[in-house]
Amino acid sequence: MSAPNSSYDPVEVTPLQPDEVARMREEALAAIAAADSLEKLKEVRIAHAGDRSPLALANREIGALPPSARAEAGKRVGGARRDVAEALKERQTVLEEERDNRVLVEEAVDVTLPWDRVPRGARHPLTTVAERMTDIFVGMGFEVAEGPETEAEWFNFDALNFLPDHPARTMQDTFFLEAPSGGESGLVLRTHTSPVQIRALLDREPPVYVVAPGKTFRTDELDATHSPVFHQLEGLVVDEGITMAHLRGAIDAFVHGMFGADLRTRFRPSYFPFTEPSAEVDMECFVCRGASVGDPDAPCRTCGSEGWIEIGGCGVVNPRVLTAAGVDTGRYSGWAFGLGVERTLMFAHGVEDMHDMVEGDIRFTSAFGMEI
């Protein structure tokens, strides 16, 4: 191995000459400044600061210099390399920041843009209210029963003790269905859910505890309080030793569950062919609680300043109905009720016009949320 060549003049080693080092440094700094993306900067880094970059190669030459010349050359090359590394670092920071800002703008989500996803549907409030009414009775142990909307006249009227000349049978209330031949079919669109009482009794042996929510039909014109298609919740209990007191208790439980725990109820004598005695069910007005009665200064729109709201009919099942359904009236007695679903929705949610329930405007429906 030969000794270092002491006559070696570093200035003669081209890559280590000050001008040359300065040129490499300037070239590197210019390339760094010109790199306009992180990808380009990566290439510049390899070209000007990598193992095979001019400055790295120059650095290697230092070892070949005589010791006396190494320090100065080392300082020169080292300084240039430090400047290049520093410039790379700064440029990297700037380009990363630019990229982050660009991404923020490009990937920003405009939350005010109209969306094109199909909104998830929700059930109609009449459906959900009917279900909530039903649930209160299911919670008391009742079973849900069903019957057809197209019903035999016998179930809709005869078995329920409507005599042939009862006014409810006449054309003014009932949709009669024509037979395909054009004559009478013996079928009607059911005018109430009470025929489900008969079907429930024919289907099962007492004890019977059923509720039947469903659609009903009458030849009414659509107005703010009437609709030719509406809904009821029927209830029927047939068991041994059943009295009207149980009926009152069940109605109270319904009113408390649906409208408020401390509301009073009352029964007003009434008439239905299928119950005896019969009553109309009222509940205390949950808005004015009777305060509007006789106070012209504080009228109540909810109860019409009556203090009470009618929610349905009820009574002790007429033994003729039990007999029609084959129930032993010596052993069993029962009661029944029919509650209006539309009325319940109107009172529970302040819906004032029946049109809103039937017109299908989703602005009405969606106000009830997405209950499913």
Q: Which is nearer to ligand DAH, 31 or 314 (CB)?
A: 314
How would you label 319-332 residue by residue, b for 16+ Cβ within 10 Å and e otherwise?
A: bebbebbebeeeeb
Q: Say whether residue 338 binds ligand DAH (CB under 6 A).
A: yes
Residue pair 179/345 in contact (Cβ under 8 Å)? The answer is no
Q: Say whether residue 201 binds ligand DAH (CB under 6 A).
A: no
CB of 251 to ligand DAH, least distance (A): 11
CA dihedral 102, 103, 106, 111 (to 10 degrees): -130
Binding characters for ligand DAH, 265-304, by CB under 6 A (x = yes):
-------x--x-----------------------------
By CB under 6 A, which span of 58-66, 98-106, 332-340, 358-366 interacts with ligand DAH?
Answer: 332-340
By CB under 6 A, which span of 148-156, 255-263, 307-315, 357-365 interacts with ligand DAH?
Answer: 307-315
Q: Which is nearer to ligand DAH, 196 or 351 (CB)?
A: 196
- Give the other-Cβ count within 10 Å of 78's Cβ: 13
Binding characters for ligand DAH, 153-192, by CB under 6 A (x = yes):
---------------------------------------x
CA distance 161 to 319: 10
Q: Say whether residue 305 binds ligand DAH (CB under 6 A).
A: no
Task: Dig out the tokens for 75 from the structure.
Answer: 């300082």
Task: Dig out the tokens for 52 from the structure.
Answer: 């095979």
Among positions 24, 212, 258, 314, the unique one binding ligand DAH when judged by CB under 6 A: 314
Which of helix, strand or coil describes residue 186?
strand
CA distance 222 to 97: 66
Q: Say whether residue 365 binds ligand DAH (CB under 6 A).
A: no
Among positions 151, 153, 234, 356, the unique one binding ligand DAH when judged by CB under 6 A: 234
By CB under 6 A, which span of 29-37, 93-101, 289-297, 312-320 interacts with ligand DAH?
Answer: 312-320
The count of C-alpha atoms lying within 13 angstroms of the C-alpha of 284, restricted to the half-sphere facing its C-beta, is 13
Task: Tell me the residue number closest to ligand DAH, measured at CB.
Answer: 338
> Residue 297 region, left (φ>0) first, then alpha (ψ -120 to 50), else beta?
alpha
Q: Say whether residue 199 binds ligand DAH (CB under 6 A).
A: no
CA distance 51 to 28: 14
Among positions 54, 195, 206, 313, the unique one binding ligand DAH when judged by CB under 6 A: 313
Q: Say whether residue 315 binds ligand DAH (CB under 6 A).
A: yes
Q: Which is nearer to ligand DAH, 275 or 344 (CB)?
A: 275
Residue pair 285/304 in contact (Cβ under 8 Å)? The answer is no
Which of helix, strand or coil describes residue 265?
strand
Q: How many residues sit close enough to ligand DAH to count as binding (CB under 6 A)?
A: 11
- As separate numbers, helices (DSSP H) first and strands (DSSP E) second, the chain gives 12, 10
Q: Say whether residue 337 binds ligand DAH (CB under 6 A).
A: yes
CA distance 175 to 165: 16
Residues that bind ligand DAH (CB under 6 A): 192, 194, 234, 272, 275, 313-315, 336-338
